[in-house]
Structures are given as C-alpha cells and as structure tokens.
C-alpha cells in the first residue's frame, strides 16, 4: 500500500521517495491520494503523486471494496451515492460512514479524485485537446472539469498542460498510449501466460508478451494492447472509435491485469505457508486476473466443466465464428467481437459443434444473463454471486467460484479447477485441500491464482 505524506505547513502531499524533507512534526500520512485531497492538501509538483498507483487496501471491508469497484466502473459518473447504496443494499448514510472510517473520503470524493487524476495523466501523456480530455475522463461538462481540476490541483487544465515534462508525452502509431501505474512488483510474464492460456481465438491474442483483444464500445469495434512498460507501469495502447469515456476503458483494462490490487496483506499472510510460500517467492507481484468482459470469462468457465483446455479453445473459436461480429482488417489473429449474452442465447450452438449437454447448459446460462445482468454483478457478495450462479441448470459450485474469482471476489476458490487440483496433488496436499482453503481465507483467490500460475508455463505467452 502506498502511503502519502502531507505537510501541514505547505498544504502539499507527496508520494514515497519525494526529495522534500519536512520536519516530522509537520507531516500527516494518508493511505489514499483522495484522502489527502479531501483534507485540503494538493499534489506535489515535483513527485506528482497522481502518476502512481493508489490501491484501496485489501483489509477494507468487503462492502467497501465492492463499492469501490462499482465506482471504478462508473457508478457515480451520472449516478448518486443514494443509487450506489441501493445497489449494495445499504443506506447512503451508512455507505458514507463506512467510506469515511476506512478510506477517509466519501464515495463522491473518491470518484472525483479518480476522474481528476486520470485527466491529469491524459494532459501529461497525450496530445488530446482539453475538451477531449474532459469527456475522456468522465466529466459531464467543461465547467465541471475546470472546477474539479482547480479544486484538486489548484490550477486550470490549460495551466496543467503547460507544466508537463517533455518525457511525459507518449506517441503510438494510430492509437493513444497511456501508462498503467502499479505498485511494484508486478509479474507480467505469469499474468500474460494466464491470459494466453485462456485467450478466446479470434478475440484475444498474446504474442511476445503483448496482450491484444477486440472490444466493443457502443456497438463499434476497437482494439487494445497491453505490454510491459517499466518497473512501475504497463503500457496500454487503445485503438478506439471515440475518446469519450476512455477512463472506463482504462479502468477495465486495469481491473483485468490487477494494477490497482493491494497484494501486501496476502503476501504477508502466506509468506511462511508450506504450499504457497515457495510459489510467492517464485512469482513475486503476481496479481489475481480480472476480466475485460464478465460474460466472456463466464462462458469459458462453463465450457471448462465439460472438457480440457484444448477442447474448450476449439469450442470458443466455433462460438465466435458462428455468433461473433466480424471485424475485418485486423492483425495478430484478431477477427471478431465476442458475442453478447442475447446473441448467444439465440445462436445455433449445436451447429457450432457443441455437445448437446454443453449446448443446453450454455444456452440456459446465456438466456439467464441476457434476462438479468446482475448475475455477473461485481457489486454482489461472493455468497450471493455463487448462489445465483449455481441456481442455474448445469452450473457447478467450482465453476461459480471460478467465475467469481474473475469478477474480483477476493475469497473465491475454484477447488475443482483442473490446474488447482493438479497443483494440490503435486504438493501431496489434495486430501487436505478443504482445510488449506479455509486457512487461506480471506485471500483464497490470490492462493488459487498462484496455484494456477505454477501449472501454466510462461512460454504460453
């Protein structure tokens, strides 16, 4: 977890490693940049704390973590704290109290800080106009953009653009490039190997350590690329039809690769674990992988109930070919968008060479998601998520846990996932898997990810 230091005599807050040397009695510490800003401090111009990752601590209550994920997904761009509270089944007053007690900010303050920091990074990294930056960062108007930037940074967007450094600007051929900051380390090789093994043919590609995929924005196709950038950041290149709402594209990519994850508590808890300790030391900085599209990873998990990985890949390729929207002119094997739940529910699954039992389960699942998107809502609790999924015909408990892991539930544990089973057998602890999984609470998704990564060669990427 990054700790920000704020100097009461100057009203400035800094990230760790800043060259400023204030007197200790004049320093206050904050775990979030938004918390320092809510207390009236502004970002240091020297160390620029808005350019580092500021993850929410893993020790925050589950409800707070779920609320943060919904805020990242844009719940407060046009919605209110009251609407967010209703989605989480709590009153807005109780939600604000939880945020104040554990994060030091209100939900609105956290959302505003995220938009402002993202806009500041765009002003530094890109040549987008100020107006494009405003709408790319999720602001509803230029007036709101100017007001919030002055509130957070004490300067107008034009003044901030004039302050950027020559080395900040990133250039990409035909797209927009951005840094995805993270708190080091991050084991990109293991993470990209995980994504490569589960890549949907025609939709995703991992070659030479670069992850690429097609995406759909309001029905229009785009492509994103993620690669290792430096010691504290990945590089995202976005080839998309418009810049409005770019913050949500970047946040979804960040969720997929775990750049905002706080792994320190889990790593400390598992450091001496006889099974996980050696795995953590072999792959320091491995993050729990999220997903670009929740329905997409859920379909892969459902198909995995019935077959090994090579067979699942062939079935995914057939589904994409039969029901996905074709996107011509792309490279690296990218040819289609992944079909929506509505499309897949009506598709000829038998014609896509799926066995009858697999087709029935998948059609029922797609129909259920098309009728109720909250089945894959990351804001739901783990218990509610898995209960709703296993209530559907043909969905097994381990499959529900596998889906929940990719949705971002920190305590999900797909015990029957083939690689997890194999690694537990390799460690001669399969008989004690239930006891170990209970001991790994509340970071069982982190444990499962390391078990899976140990069974996936990094050459898969």
Q: What is the pLDDT of residues 165-220, one digit of tens each?
A: 888 888 767 789 999 999 889 999 999 999 999 999 999 999 999 999 999 998 89
Long-range contacts of 396-399 (CB under 8 A, 24+ apart): 396/305, 399/301, 399/302, 399/304, 399/305
* pLDDT bucket at 445, cuts 50 / 70 / 90: very high
pLDDT (average), residues 289-293: 94
What is the predicted pLDDT for the residue at 405?
96
Q: Is the pLDDT of residue 422 over 90?
A: no
What is the predicted pLDDT for the residue at 120?
94
Four-way CATH pick for 1-46: 3.40.10.10, 2.60.40.1220, 3.40.50.1010, 3.40.190.170: 3.40.10.10
Range of lowest pLDDT (54-63, 67-76, 223-232, 425-434):
425-434
Q: Which part of the chain has CATH 1.10.10.60?
A: 109-168
What is the predicted pLDDT for the residue at 16?
81
User: How confident is the prediction for the chain on average, in pLDDT?
Assistant: 90
Q: Which part of the chain has CATH 3.30.310.20?
A: 179-460
Do the beta carbons of residue 280 and residue 271 sit within 8 Å? yes
What is the predicted pLDDT for the residue at 70?
86
What is the predicted pLDDT for the residue at 250?
94
What is the predicted pLDDT for the residue at 373?
83
**C-alpha to C-alpha distance for 225 and 237, rounded to whole angstroms:** 5
What does DSSP say about strands 204-207 and 210-217: parallel, antiparallel, or unpaired?
Answer: antiparallel
Per-residue model confidence as pLDDT tens digits over 299-347 = 999 999 888 889 999 999 999 999 999 999 999 999 999 999 999 999 9
What does DSSP say about strands 4-7 and 42-43: parallel, antiparallel, or unpaired?
Answer: unpaired
What is the predicted pLDDT for the residue at 206?
96
Helix or strand run (H / E) with residue 38: helix 33-38
Q: Is the pLDDT of residue 430 over 60?
A: no
Q: Is the pLDDT of residue 386 over 70?
A: yes
What is the predicted pLDDT for the residue at 15?
87
Per-residue model confidence as pLDDT tens digits over 109-130 = 999 999 999 999 999 999 999 9
Q: Which part of the chain has CATH 3.40.10.10?
A: 1-46
* pLDDT bucket at 458, cuts 50 / 70 / 90: low
Q: Is the pLDDT of residue 460 over 60?
A: no
Fold of 179-460: TATA-Binding Protein (3.30.310)
pLDDT (average), residues 429-453: 79
* pLDDT bucket at 435, cuts 50 / 70 / 90: low
Q: Which residues pair with 221 in a beta bridge?
A: 216
91, 120, 140, 213, 314 from 80: Cα distances, Å: 12, 24, 14, 32, 44
Q: Is the pLDDT of residue 228 over 90?
A: yes
Do the beta carbons of residue 190 and residue 62 sit within 8 Å? no
Per-residue model confidence as pLDDT tens digits over 10-58 = 999 998 878 778 888 999 999 889 999 999 999 998 889 888 876 666 6
Do the beta carbons of residue 42 and residue 13 sit within 8 Å? yes
Report, at the CATH architecture level, how domain 109-168 is classified: Orthogonal Bundle (1.10)
Number of other CB atoms surrounding residue 61 within 10 Å: 11
């Amino acid at each position: 977890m990054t700790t920000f230091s704020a100097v009461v005599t100057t009203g400035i807050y800094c990230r760790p490693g800043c060259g400023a040397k204030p007197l200790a009695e004049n320093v206050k510490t904050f775990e979030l940049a938004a918390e320092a800003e809510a207390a009236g401090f502004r970002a240091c111009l020297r160390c620029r704390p808005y350019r580092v990752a500021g993850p929410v601590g893993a020790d925050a209550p589950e409800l707070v973590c779920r609320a943060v994920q919904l805020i990242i997904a844009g719940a407060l761009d046009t919605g209110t704290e009251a609407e967010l509270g209703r989605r989480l089944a709590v009153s807005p007053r109780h939600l604000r109290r939880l945020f104040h007690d554990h994060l030091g900010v209100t939900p609105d303050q956290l959302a505003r800080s995220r938009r402002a920091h993202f806009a500041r990074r765009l002003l530094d990294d890109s040549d987008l106009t100020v107006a494009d930056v405003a709408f790319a960062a999720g602001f509803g108007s230029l007036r709101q953009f100017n007001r919030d930037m002055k509130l957070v940074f004490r300067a107008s967007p034009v003044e901030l653009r004039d302050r950027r450094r020559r080395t900040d600007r990133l250039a990409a051929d035909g797209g927009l490039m951005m840094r995805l900051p993270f708190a080091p380390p991050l084991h990109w090789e293991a993470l990209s190997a995980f994504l490569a093994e589960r890549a949907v043919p025609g939709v995703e590609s991992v070659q030479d350590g670069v992850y690429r995929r097609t995406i759909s924005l309001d029905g229009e196709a785009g492509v994103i690329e993620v690669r290792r950038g430096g010691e504290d950041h990945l590089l995202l290149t976005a080839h998309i039809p418009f810049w409005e709402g770019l913050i949500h594209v970047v946040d979804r990519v960040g969720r997929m690769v775990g750049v905002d994850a706080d792994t320190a508590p889990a790593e400390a808890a598992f450091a001496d674990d006889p099974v996980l300790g050696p795995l953590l030391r072999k792959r320091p900085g491995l993050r729990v992988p999220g997903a670009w599209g929740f329905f997409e990873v859920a379909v892969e998990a459902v198909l995995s109930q019935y077959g090994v990985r090579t067979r699942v890949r062939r079935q995914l390729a057939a589904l994409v070919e039969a029901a996905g929207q074709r996107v011509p002119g792309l490279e690296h094997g990218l040819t289609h968008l992944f079909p929506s739940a509505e499309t897949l529910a009506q598709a000829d699954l038998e014609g896509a060479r799926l066995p009858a039992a697999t087709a029935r389960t998948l059609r029922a699942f797609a129909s259920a998601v098309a009728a109720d998107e909250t089945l894959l809502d990351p804001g739901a609790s783990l218990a509610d998520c898995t209960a709703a999924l296993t209530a559907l015909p043909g969905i097994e408990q381990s499959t529900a846990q596998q889906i929940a892991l990719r949705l971002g539930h920190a305590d999900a544990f797909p015990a029957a996932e083939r690689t997890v089973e194999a690694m537990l057998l390799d460690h001669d602890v399969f008989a004690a898997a239930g006891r170990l999984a209970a001991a790994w609470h509340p970071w069982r998704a982190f444990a499962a990810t390391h078990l899976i990564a140990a069974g996936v060669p990094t050459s898969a990427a």
